[in-house]
């Protein structure tokens, strides 16, 4: 029996779609997104920058001839997702929200080489089992982890990366994005806003330096990392003009795009 999508309750995949300017969302999602933006005015730009980096990665991997891909915490496959850049690739998308998965499966219904699985990244054994069933012995793949690793604590991230490395073979590529707090930031203000956002969204959020990220993803080798605006150049989404009387300390954070190899 197909899962019924409840459009009266907001879901993060559709919220993300909304702030990216998509149409796969409903009034409940738009209200929830507006509430998040009121607390964190940087959120829409973060979403656009992450998606622009995903766009950059998709184009890069298309040029490199990637034919098999595993994407983590995918959200909805809309608004320039990997399926648009790698239309002939075998792609397994994943997300932990069953309603996002159901809607995404509908969107991919006419793409026989693409599938969407309901996976919690905090349970890497289930992810690896699903990937093994999907890719079989074809283990040189590309792994997308854009806009997702900052929701995992250190131990969860290490287990995930170790499991993926053991599953995949030499030649596998990894792309990820993460935030860190550069020197000179207003640490107290940033911590306060993040704590309130975690409370409202009931989800954790972790900041990590590139050095710390390199340690946590081992045995993957972090080969390239830059602020995403350096990858994108003039294509970097611009920040919204400041709203009078609204503090936005999260603008001080740096969003990094990185690549790693098996």
What's this model's pTM, rounded to 2 decimal places?
0.90
* CATH 3.40.50.150 assigned to 49-236+246-261: yes
Q: What is the mean pLDDT of residues 31-37?
A: 84
Taking CA 118 as the corner, what is the angle to CA 17 and CA 72, rounded to the nearest 5 degrees?
Answer: 60
Q: What is the pLDDT of residues 72-105, one digit of tens each?
A: 999 888 878 999 999 999 999 999 888 888 888 9
**Angstrom distances, CA of residue 92 to CA of 48, 118, 130, 144, 193:** 22, 11, 9, 10, 34
Domain assignments of the chain as residue spans, ordered by start: 49-236+246-261
How far separated are the first and last CA of the chain, in Å rounded?
40
- Calculate mean pLDDT across residues 103-127: 93
């Amino acid at each position: 029996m197909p899962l019924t999508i409840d459009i009266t309750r907001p879901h993060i995949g559709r919220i993300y779609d909304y702030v990216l300017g998509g149409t796969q969302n409903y009034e409940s999602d738009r209200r929830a997104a507006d509430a998040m933006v009121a607390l964190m005015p940087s959120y829409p730009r973060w979403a656009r920058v992450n998606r622009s980096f995903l766009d950059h990665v998709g184009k890069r991997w298309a040029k490199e001839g990637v034919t098999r891909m595993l994407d983590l915490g995918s959200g909805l496959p809309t608004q320039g997702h990997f399926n648009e850049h790698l239309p002939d690739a075998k792609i397994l998308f994943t997300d932990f929200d069953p309603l996002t998965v159901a809607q995404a499966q509908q969107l991919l219904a006419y793409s026989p080489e693409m599938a969407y699985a309901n996976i919690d990244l905090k349970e890497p054994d289930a992810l690896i089992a699903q990937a093994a069933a999907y890719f079989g012995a074809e283990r040189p793949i590309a792994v997308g982890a854009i806009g997702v690793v900052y929701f995992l604590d250190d131990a969860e991230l290490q287990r995930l990366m170790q499991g993926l490395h053991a599953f995949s073979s030499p030649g596998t590529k990894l792309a990820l994005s993460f935030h860190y707090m550069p020197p000179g930031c207003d640490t107290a203000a940033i911590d306060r806003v993040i704590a309130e956002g975690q409370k409202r969204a009931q989800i954790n959020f972790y900041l990590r330096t590139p050095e710390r990220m390199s340690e946590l993803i081992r045995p993957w080798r972090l080969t390239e990392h830059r602020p995403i605006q350096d990858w994108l150049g003039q294509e970097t989404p611009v920040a919204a003009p400041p709203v009078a009387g609204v503090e936005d300390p999260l603008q001080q954070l740096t969003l990094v795009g990185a690549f790693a190899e098996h």
